[in-house]
Structure 1
Amino acid sequence: MSFIRILFISFVFSVLPQVVFSQVSVTISKEITKVDGKSFYIHRVEKGQTLYSIAKAYGVKVEQIVKYNTNAKKELSIGQVLKIPKNEAFSHIGTDKPITPEGFTYHKVVKGENLYRIMYDYQVKLDDLQKYNKDLTTNIQIGQWILIPNKSFLKAELVTSKYDSLITYKVKRRDNFFRLEKKFHINQQQLEQLNPEIKESGLQKGIEITVPYFEDKSNIPEYEEVSLDTISYEIVKNNELDTNYHCEKIEYNQHIYKLGLMIPIYSNLDADIRVENDYLIKGIDEYVSFRFIEFYQGMKLALDSMEKLGFKAEVFVWDTKADTNTVDSICMLKEFKELDLLFGPFYSKNVKRVQKAARDNSIKVVDLFSPYFINADSISQFFITNSSVNNKYNALAKYISDSLSNYRISIIHQGYDEDLKSLNSLKNALLGNNIDTNSIYVYDYTFNGLNNLEKELSSDKQNIIFNLVDDEAKISDFLRQLNIETKDYSIMVMALDKVWGKYRTLELDYLSHLKYTCATDYYIDNSDSFVVIPFEKKFYDTYKRIPSKLGYLGFDISWYFGNEIYYFGSNFSECGDRLPIRNISTNYTFIKLRQGVYRNISTNVIQYDNYQKYKKN
């Protein structure tokens, strides 16, 4: 009996035309009023909205809306004004995650946690937690759901709390900050504090902004900066539980996990693949539909291996077609909202769209290739598999410090902003590994740097040369000139593989003679008869092709996270160092950067020598 069920869904639009396109979104109102000391949103009903959709958007129950709007029980009409109560959420225990209001995150308590740990992790005061979770005490229980206000929401709350009533105002053609100050009795700083978006966009005709309404104009508050208190780690240390319970391995885990893969298969281009005869078949790399398919194939092999350990999962595979509308549609699916773990999406333009949906549904996300960082307030838990540039430079610096001696370090760049950022990162890494600053020399291409570097090569030391330039022609010329110097000097060239690895014209002769040494997240030892060769054989037997980089990554990432969730459950985030997992290309080590954000710090130092590649760390 198979315990892993894979559902391949490649046609989101045709499956859900009514659900995806007929729902009317509900925007949280910016109008707030107080009645008998209690705060309410003022919501105006729009066409297509229902009590259920409004309640879901505001994170309250239908019964709560009806309680304060008795006429809403019979029917809703377009333009009808509803009072939506604020701060009505309760913490509770249950398997189903409650509806998450905008500006909040739900946290499910796990073994080893206490309320002080949650306060520190989310940087939220006890008063704020109790404000949004009635009857919440420090005596929390495993499985309890706690509503956590995001930092941006708390700041907005501090700002709006200064005003008795807020209304929405549509900016007119001749409005400016001076006119609005006269009309609403607050200055530009206060308007921007209430409406952060106008700091960037300015006052544009037709946009709606939030402004205060004063009945008593003799008591208008002045502008003051708003900041949140910092929760010290001391509160955790003074109230710590035995966190070993949190990372206790689960024996005979029978839970069925729900995994998702968002991958661009481009099933909409199926017609491009079908041909009348075999003579018209192109090379596999010429079909965009096959660009990422190997990742899925590697993932499937990993899940097959996990199944033999007893792992049970339901896997949903969605074809994003690299299209933002398709991604948005997938995020609305019931199956998506019930995921424990999501792999993807593959393109950076869709990452932020997925982050919000993941946060709203408490889904852990494994980011595969995104090069930029993310806002911790916008996510649930986010795992970045690529190690950082700083970490790669640190790996190279550590190799120099640990393995080399009697060296002279040269760094060459061409003065661009990216070069200077890399130069700063590299210098910090070298100094952090106790490398003497007197042995470091910097050259600029724009000031005859390469010629000066060659003139100053040391005849009695190992010349280690870092090239920070991202220009194929310059790199090729750099290698050619330095290769000539190897007759008289000992030279080792260093760079990041993510830069040099994308260029195909670099001469292997030069790289080998210059002992090119790089830091990379990906390395395969093709001579490894214990792991690599058996995997290649299995991949070929299954798919009739030798795996490339994506095939290995698909296996490694799925194998790592499959083991983590199987042995430690859905809340495996803090347990990454408790389970030694051997991968094929990279052995991941994740560290917590900040609340909700984890990044891999493992990287490989690879050296070319005698036309072979060797791992040096």
Structure 2
Amino acid sequence: MIKFFSVLCLVFMLSANALTAQNFSTHQVKKGETVHGIATQYGVSIADIYALNPDAKKELKANSILIIPISKANKPTVTIVKELQGFKEHKTSKKETLYSIAKQYDVTEDDIKKHNTFLYANTLKKGDKLQIPVFKITKEEPKAATKTYIVLPKEGKWRVAYKFGITVQELEALNPQMGETLQEGQQIYVPNITGDAVKNVDEKYSYYSVLPKEGFYRLKLKLGLDQQELEALNPELKETGLKEGMVLKIPFSNKMTEDSGVALSKTNLGNRIKNYETKHIAVMLPFRLNRVNFDSLPDIKNSIKKDPYLNASLDFYTGVLTAIDSLKSLGISLKVDVYDTNYQVSEVSKLINDNNFKELDAVIGPLTPDTFDKVASELLPYHVPVVSPIGTNLTLYENVFQSRPSDDLLKGKLIDYVKTDTLASNIVVISDAKNATVANELKQAFGSAKMVYSRKGKTGNDLNFLYAEDVRSVLKPGRNYVFLETQNEGFVSNVASVLSSLNNSSANELILVTTNFNAAFEGEQVSNDHLSKLQLHFATTTKSYDDITDGVFVKNYSKTYNTIPSKRAIKGFDLTMDVVLRLASSKDLYMSVKNAPLTEYVENKFAYKKKLLGGYYNDAIYIVKYSDLAIVEVK
């Protein structure tokens, strides 16, 4: 009985769609066409067209698609095509007329006049010699305006609308019985276009459906893209303009998905491995082994101490090796080529010329900006992804993955965090002269913020201290966020001490924040007790692995190297795990951006977004705070 009911529903659905096909058609507007002409062509009224296509009232744009109510329309006539093949000569007799001659040769009077131009100014006379055109006549049946389409797996209305260059509303007008959501295998009607006219949905991008009354200005505010940028991704916009329901291709955004508004959840790629083919990656680091003295163990240790690049490279590489062991335990086959860049662009060029980098699945490194830029630009034509472990001010070529979030992103995320706190009653900004620019940015972000600057000496120089009264005068009862912007350890110590004394008042709750957590906040002069009492908040690219309950990495690392891992070693581990697991769970690193919006490992998390006409940058950061003399993530 249930099976019979399901079949019955399917038959009804297909019947409803068949009825729809008889009720509506589509027309792609050609340059120079008018609504009046189109209405005449289909035998419908202008009002009928406007009822289904309200945007046509404002402007009829070339290549836009109109819905035509063909239940009211006359069937478009067959098009007659005449191709000139040659001429016959005809000498007129006394009683012949232009009409009778045209009738005799099955042509029109205009056809005869066109090839005998003297007839435009003179009447036909006996003895006139005429050139009668001979045509090859063909008839072109009108092309069906719609065709059937079978819905593919996971295909929603916006995907189908985008493919066939219509709005969601126009798709619904063609298929009024198709329901709220599309089902795999469902038969619907779409414009009868084929080949290159059908657009592909590129998973490397996101897509946005234009809302009612949205113009380019509103889209600039919402998407951060101006008209020129939108037209570069959607060339048809130059012809059709914006329309309600139009689907636009935009740079990939984790927020612009069909489930927009839902918070991102972490993806455990270890449970999604589906590609067990051998992954081939390269690791490029500035070991500068040509400078190492290998004569004895003390000489080697001394070389490591003296060369910061070798020290950093070895730290990072130990994390890479630990990750390789972990990946093998997951059954992943991996081939890793390790190259010493010597911190020289010329060496990088030589390495690329002497080795086959074209077939690599990914490159991790180099660490330094110039050498990284050289590798990324050289491998761009081959679409080989190059992942930067530490760089931020990079040229984001299409193949670049910037794994470290930028300082501007950290600043923006912290400001957004403070703005979302509904209990905040007051914002105070404390800074020295060197950070006046940042202080002004904060003033713009928080219009009512109170500004406090370091005391000045007689020559106008910063004394890097202030008095309690300087701050007390700008506080308000309730929660006060106090931004401290400085790189001076003494100033941090002074401000933390002053704020701690003022925080004892039951009327005030002071929370210290900074957009730039630097070495000054960790200096010996600064009291961690004060920072904890003030709950110092800041944005960071990493969090402490002490917060991770699963300490397998730390145990394995300590067992192998007889020491706890440094932050560089942890970054080497986290980044290698992420790159290889993305390769093992997706078609390639580019597709993994869509398939795994957010991943997290020991201290680092990765949520890549694509820059318009550029590469990928990591948008994932942590908001952390001092609490009980420890740094913990703010949940």
TM-score bracket, normalised by the shorter chain, equals 0.5 to 0.7
Q: Contact 2:414–2:515 (CA<8 Å) still a contact in 1?
A: no
Matched, 1:397 2:422: no
> Match for residue 581 of structure 2?
563
Secondary structure of 1:556 counterpart: helix
Match of 2:450 in 1: 441
Once structures 1 and 2 are overlaid, which stretch shifts more, 575-584 or 334-343? 575-584
Give distance in 2, aligned partners of 1:404 and 1:230. 39
Structural RMSD (CA): 4.1
- 1:485 Cα deviation after fit: 3.3
Q: Retained in 2: the 8 A contact 1:252–1:310?
A: no
Please state how far the C-alpha of 1:561 moved relative to its aligned partner: 1.5
Distance 1:403 1:297, change over 3 A: same
Q: Which residue in 1 is equivalent to 2:495?
A: 478
Q: In structure 2, do the counterparts of structure 1 residues 481 and 284 end up closer, same or farther at CA, with 3 Å as the change threshold? A: farther
Cα shift readout 1:108-163 (whole Å, capped 9, x = no counterpart): xxxx999x99xxxxxxxxxxxxxxxxxx9668999xxxxxxxxxxxxxxxxxxxxx
CA distance in 2 between counterparts of 1:483 and 1:614 reads 20
Q: 1:537 maps to which residue?
A: 555
Are 2:524 and 1:492 equivalent residues in the alignment?
no
Q: Deviations over 1:160-191 (max 9, x none)?
A: xxxxxxxxxxxxxxxxxxxxxxxxxxxxxxxx
- 1:257 matched residue in structure 2: 279
Q: Which of 286, 290, 300 is equivalent to 1:268? A: 290
| 2-structure distance, mates of 1:588, 1:493 | 27
**Residue 625 (structure 2) aligned to one of 592, 607, 611:** 607
Match of 2:32 in 1: none
CA distance in 2, matches of 1:138, 1:308: 47
Structure 1 counterpart of 2:326 = 305
**1:519 aligns to 2:520 (yes or no):** no
User: Amino acid of the residue matched to residue 265 of structure 1?
Assistant: F
Output the amino acid matched with 2:512.
Answer: V
Q: Aligned partners of 1:229 and 1:398: how far apart in 2?
A: 26
Q: What displacement does 1:536 show?
A: 0.8
Change (3 A) 1:400 1:251: closer
Residue 319 of structure 1 pairs with residue 340 of structure 2: yes
| 1:466 corresponding residue in structure 2 | 483
CA shift for structure 1 position 608? 0.8
Task: Evaluate the alpha carbon distance shift between residue 512 and residue 562 of structure 1 in structure 2; reply closer, same or farther with a 3 A threshold.
Answer: same
* Matched position secondary structure for 1:383: strand
Match of 1:383 in 2: 401
**3-state SS of paired residue (1:400):** helix
Alignment of 1:499-514 (within 5 A): 499-500=518-519, 503-505=522-524, 506-514=526-534
- Secondary structure of the residue aligned to 2:486 is coil
Structure 2 letter corresponding to 1:253? N
Distance 1:516 1:286, change over 3 A: farther
CA, structure 1 residues 588+545, in 2 after alignment: closer, same or farther (shift >3 Å)?
same
Q: Secondary structure at the match of 1:490?
A: strand
Name the CA distance, whole Å, in 2 between partners of 1:576 and 1:299.
Answer: 25
Q: Counterpart of 2:96?
A: none
Q: Distance in 1 between matches of 2:443 and 2:474?
A: 20
TM superposition score normalised by structure 1: 0.54
Please say if residues 494 and 517 of structure 1, whose CA atoms lie closer than 8 Å, have aligned partners that are also in contact.
yes
Q: Deviations over 1:11-41 (max 9, x none)?
A: xxxxxxxxxxxxxxxxxxxxxxxxxxxxxxx
> Aligned partners of 1:507, 1:284: CA distance in 2, in Å?
33
Q: Does 1:362 align with 2:383?
A: yes
Q: Which amino acid aligns with 1:475?
A: V
Which deviations, in whole Å up to 9, do the C-alpha atoms of 1:22-69 show, x marking residues without a partner? xxxxxxxxxxxxxxxxxxxxxxxxxxxxxxxxxxxxxxxxxxxxxxxx
Change (3 A) 1:496 1:266: farther
Structure 1 match to 2:53: none
CA deviation after TM superposition for structure 1 residue 423, in Å? 4.1
Q: CA deviation at 1:549?
A: 0.4
Code of the residue aligned with 1:445 in structure 2: it is S
Partner of 1:349 in structure 2?
370
- Say if 2:593 and 2:609, in contact at 8 Å, map to a contact too: no
Deviation at 1:321, TM superposition (A): 2.3
Q: Is the 8 A contact 1:419 1:469 kept in 2?
A: no
**Percent sequence identity over aligned pairs:** 18
Larger radius of gyration: 2
CA distance in 2, matches of 1:402, 1:582: 24
Shift of 1:554: 0.9
How big is each residue's C-alpha offset from its partner over 1:435-471, in whole Å with a ceiling of 9 and x where there is no partner? xx33x22233376894474242426222311122233
The answer to whether the Cα contact below 8 Å between 2:292 and 2:303 also exists between their aligned partners in 1 is no
State how far apart, in whole Å, the 1-side matches of 2:579 and 2:558 are.
24
1:231 alignment partner in structure 2: 232
Give the 3-state SS of the residue equivalent to 1:335 in structure 2. coil
Aligned residue-pair number = 386
CA distance in 2, matches of 1:354, 1:320: 10
Say if 2:517 and 2:538, in contact at 8 Å, map to a contact too: no
Deviates more, 1:535-544 or 1:289-298: 289-298
Q: Residues 414 and 139 of structure 1: is their aligned pair in 2 closer, same or farther, counting only changes over 3 Å?
A: same
Q: Cα distance, 1:479 vs. partner?
A: 2.8
In 1, Cα distance between equivalents of 2:585 and 2:321: 19
Q: What do residues 457-513 of structure 1 show as CA deviations (whole Å, max 9, x unaligned)?
A: 426222311122233343333334434433445322111455347853333233223
Contact 2:599–2:607 under 8 Å retained in 1? no
Amino acid at match of 1:472: E
* Distance (Å, rounded) in 2 between the aligned partners of 1:467 and 1:349: 34
Residue 353 of structure 2 corresponds to residue 332 of structure 1: yes
Measure the CA separation in 1 of the matches of 2:631 and 2:489.
Answer: 21
Query: Shift of the alpha carbon at 1:357?
Result: 0.9
Preserved CA contact (<8 Å) 2:424 2:479 = yes
Structure 2 unmatched runs, 5+: 1-154, 164-194, 202-227, 238-245, 250-256, 259-268, 457-461
1:422 to 1:500, Cα distance in 2 relative to 1, 3 A? farther
Q: Determine if the alignment matches structure 1 residue 372 to structure 2 residue 393.
A: yes
Pairing 1:573-592 to 2, within 5 Å after superposition: 573=591, 575-576=593-594, 578=596, 581-592=599-610
| TM-score, structure 2 as length reference | 0.53
Question: In 2 relative to 1, CA 323–234 (structure 1 residues): closer, same or farther, beyond 3 Å?
Answer: closer
Name stretches of at least 5 consecutive residues in structure 1 with no aligned partner. 1-111, 118-135, 143-226, 432-436
Q: Secondary structure at the match of 1:539?
A: helix
* Structure 2 letter corresponding to 1:578: A
Task: Report the alpha carbon displacement of residue 539 of structure 1 after superposing the two structures with TM.
Answer: 0.4
Looking at structure 1, the residues matched to 584 and 478 of structure 2 have their Cα atoms a distance apart, in angstroms, of 51
